[in-house]
């Protein structure tokens, strides 16, 4: 350690000492513009003051607004364990001028748009304003990232004050849909693991979680009218483990938890292929009337529902009906990928009938890009993962597109050749590869108006634990969030990798098992402070 670094570390400790003095003391100037928020906000203006959060903290919200009340309680739930403060929530009919204030009192202007928010931090008040409940929630996540990383775990009682830089942030999402997918079929993950995954998504302003609930290796959701789907079809997984499934109450708990984090659950029942678990559970779904053996391998394309049998459509109707009754979101994902054992004419006829069934229960269809061969229209969404030709065909038929290019967005792809987990059939995907793509520039002929948003899938052939999930999603997940939220012209890898590196202590405070990419300059908060001293940002 050289003399300069020693002096700066001493200064760091000294400043912390100043921070713990009484409210009458002067606090060092701050610079809100020097933040490491992910996704990157649209507009940041710093005023170089300090807001102090202490034991008298109160969160106010507009009286009579139940959505704001829920957001206030959510924020209080974040702050109480880490600060040790009581953190009351109070309804108010006027601007309280101090404390934290959540309000719908801002115009629904075209700039903010749906999901947008305005965050104004002064020495006396933190105000998060949006006409939309999700906008206020996203503003809360920004405040969360502006606070020290210690906000992510239980406080040991030594920190009496918490500090925020003053200024104004105006922010809004670039795309309506910002999702991730978790495959719970190849390996099953329980309710608490899914909730943990939702926690990670909410921090970075995702708004959709696509659950891949059925595949060759396992059926993961209770269907009362076809009970053997879970009793038998849910009894195993890749490698021959015991598998598992969600009861209806389990699934309701996931949906409710996601809604509390402003995330929509999108259920997927993959068909007519990827259906061996169902074919093993009910012989009548097979053309020969014989049940298939349970499958614990990883091959694809060998299974298909018998598209000529009426009982198959009765089965699909029951499954879609029961899941739709539990799912308040607008979408139902029908899969449709890699149906190599289904004749093309049979495939098209099947998808057309399933579309009608889904629509009957008030849901809109999402399917992998192969469904573009069917008679889809502007009510449907094609999820591009492999074939540009399919995605373009979907657009020609008026469908929207979710961009999930396997070469960039599949979180189960290895980082490099030494990565123990994951696959590599779509290539190696280091953190820069995951970040450096533009949904609009990806496929010639697909314009921004055609794109609903982006989704990063995590397939789980090699993923068995929460630690595995974390390692393959972090640190790529925040980058996908930024692609979906931040305008392309405001995204730059050289800037992003620095902000990502400054998330190090937050990831560790959250106990995330992340991949320490050599492309990212990982930094502790103390190192960040020293760097700012060297750059003359804090005087």
Catalytic residues: 338
pLDDT, mean of residues 257-271: 98
Q: Taking 70 as the threshold, does the pLDDT of residue 22 lie above it?
A: no
pLDDT score, position 25: 63
pLDDT score, position 106: 79
Q: Taking 90 as the threshold, does the pLDDT of residue 5 lie above it?
A: no
Report yes or no: 105 and 65 within 8 Å, Cβ to Cβ: no
Q: Which residues pair with 208 in a beta bridge?
A: 179, 264
- Does a cis peptide bond (omega within 30 degrees of 0) precede residue 18? no
Query: Cα separation of 167 and 146, whole Å?
Result: 12
106-148: per-residue pLDDT in tens?
776 667 888 999 999 999 999 999 999 999 999 999 999 999 9
Query: Cα separation of 221 and 282, whole Å?
Result: 15
pLDDT score, position 7: 40
pLDDT score, position 110: 63
In this prediction, residue 528 has a pLDDT band, given cuts at 50, 70 and 90, of: low
Measure the N-to-C terminal CA separation of the chain; round to a whole number of Å.
22
The 3-state DSSP class for residue 386 equals coil
In this prediction, residue 334 has a pLDDT band, given cuts at 50, 70 and 90, of: very high
Q: Taking 80 as the threshold, does the pLDDT of residue 4 lie above it?
A: no
- What residue ranges in 369-461 does DSSP mark as E strands? 381-384, 400-403, 451-458
Q: What is the DSSP string of 408-424?
A: HH-TTB-SSTT-SSSB-
Above pLDDT 70, what percent of the chain? Answer: 91
Structure tokens at 137: 């929630």
Q: Taking 60 as the threshold, does the pLDDT of residue 89 lie above it?
A: yes
In this prediction, residue 444 has a pLDDT band, given cuts at 50, 70 and 90, of: very high
Report yes or no: 233 and 218 within 8 Å, Cβ to Cβ: yes
Q: Which residues contact 183 (CB under 8 A, 6 or more apart)?
A: 212, 215, 457, 458, 459, 460, 463
Element (H, E) at 129: strand 125-129
Q: Taking 70 as the threshold, does the pLDDT of residue 492 lie above it?
A: yes
Label residue 330 exposed, middle or buried (CB < 10 Å: 0-12, 13-18, 19+).
Answer: exposed
pLDDT, mean of residues 285-311: 98
pLDDT score, position 40: 98
Query: Cα separation of 207 and 238, whole Å?
Result: 29
Query: Cα separation of 305 and 32, whole Å?
Result: 57
pLDDT, mean of residues 481-494: 98
pLDDT score, position 198: 98
pLDDT score, position 1: 46
Element (H, E) at 62: strand 58-62
Q: What is the pTM of this model?
A: 0.94
In this prediction, residue 297 has a pLDDT band, given cuts at 50, 70 and 90, of: very high
Q: Taking 90 as the threshold, does the pLDDT of residue 12 lie above it?
A: no
Structure tokens at 453: 């948003």
pLDDT score, position 26: 67
Q: Taking 90 as the threshold, does the pLDDT of residue 227 lie above it?
A: yes
pLDDT score, position 157: 65
| Average pLDDT for the chain | 93
Q: Taking 50 as the threshold, does the pLDDT of residue 19 lie above it?
A: no
Q: 28-42, 489-503, 524-538: which has the minimum mean pLDDT? A: 524-538
- What residue ranges in 246-343 does DSSP mark as E strands? 264-268, 331-333
Q: Taking 70 as the threshold, does the pLDDT of residue 17 lie above it?
A: no
In this prediction, residue 159 has a pLDDT band, given cuts at 50, 70 and 90, of: confident
In this prediction, residue 29 has a pLDDT band, given cuts at 50, 70 and 90, of: confident
Q: 23-27, 55-59, 77-81, 467-471: which has the minimum mean pLDDT? A: 23-27
Q: Taking 50 as the threshold, does the pLDDT of residue 6 lie above it?
A: no
């Amino acid at each position: 350690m050289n003399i300069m670094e020693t002096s700066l570390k001493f200064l760091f400790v000294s400043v912390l000492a100043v921070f713990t003095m009484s409210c009458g003391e002067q606090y060092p100037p701050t610079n809100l513009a020097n933040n490491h928020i992910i996704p990157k906000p649209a507009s940041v203006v710093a005023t170089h003051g300090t807001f102090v959060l202490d034991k008298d903290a109160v969160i106010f919200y507009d009286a009579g607004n139940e959505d704001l009340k829920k957001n206030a309680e959510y924020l209080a739930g974040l702050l109480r364990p880490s600060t040790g403060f009581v953190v009351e929530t109070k309804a108010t009919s006027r601007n309280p001028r101090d404390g934290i204030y959540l309000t719908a009192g801002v115009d629904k202007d075209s700039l903010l748009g749906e999901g947008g928010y305005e965050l104004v931090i002064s020495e006396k008040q933190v105000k998060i304003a949006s006409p939309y409940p999700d906008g206020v929630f996203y503003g809360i996540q920004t405040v969360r990232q502006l606070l020290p990383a210690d906000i992510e775990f239980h406080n040991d009682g030594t920190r009496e004050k918490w500090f925020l830089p003053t200024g104004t942030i105006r922010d809004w999402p670039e795309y309506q849909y910002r999702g991730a997918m978790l495959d719970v079929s190849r390996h099953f993950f329980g309710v608490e693991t899914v909730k943990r995954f939702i926690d990670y998504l909410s921090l970075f302003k995702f708004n959709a979680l696509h659950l891949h609930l059925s595949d060759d290796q396992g059926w993961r959701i209770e269907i009362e009218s076809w009970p053997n789907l879970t009793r038998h079809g849910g009894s195993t997984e890749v490698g021959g483990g015991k598998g598992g499934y969600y009861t209806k109450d389990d699934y309701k708990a996931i949906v409710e938890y996601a809604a509390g984090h402003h995330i929509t659950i999108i259920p997927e029942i993959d068909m007519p292929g990827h259906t061996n678990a169902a074919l093993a559970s009910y012989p009548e779904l097979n053309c020969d009337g014989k049940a298939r053996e349970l499958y614990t391998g990883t091959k694809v394309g060998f299974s298909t529902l018998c598209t000529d049998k009426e009982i198959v459509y009765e089965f699909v109707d029951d499954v879609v009906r029961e899941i739709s009754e539990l799912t308040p979101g607008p979408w139902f994902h029908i899969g449709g990928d890699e149906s190599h054992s289904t004749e093309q004419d049979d495939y098209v006829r099947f998808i057309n009938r399933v579309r009608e069934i889904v629509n009957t229960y008030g849901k809109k269809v999402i399917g992998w890009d192969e469904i573009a061969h069917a008679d889809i229209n502007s009510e449907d969404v094609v999820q591009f993962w492999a074939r540009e030709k399919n995605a373009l065909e979907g657009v020609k038929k008026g469908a929207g597109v979710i961009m999930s290019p396997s070469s960039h967005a599949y979180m189960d792809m290895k980082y490099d050749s030494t990565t123990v987990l994951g696959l590599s059939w779509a290539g190696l995907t280091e953190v820069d590869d995951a970040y450096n793509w533009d949904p609009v520039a990806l496929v010639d002929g697909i314009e921004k108006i055609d794109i609903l948003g982006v989704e990063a899938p995590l397939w789980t052939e090699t993923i068995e634990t929460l630690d595995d999930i974390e390692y393959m999603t972090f640190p790529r997940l925040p980058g996908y969030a930024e692609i979906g939220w931040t305008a392309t012209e405001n995204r730059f890898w050289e800037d992003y990798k620095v902000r990502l590196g400054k998330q190090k202590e937050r990831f560790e405070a959250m106990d995330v098992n992340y991949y320490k990419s050599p492309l990212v300059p990982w930094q502790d908060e103390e190192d960040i402070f020293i760097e700012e001293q060297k750059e003359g940002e804090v005087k």
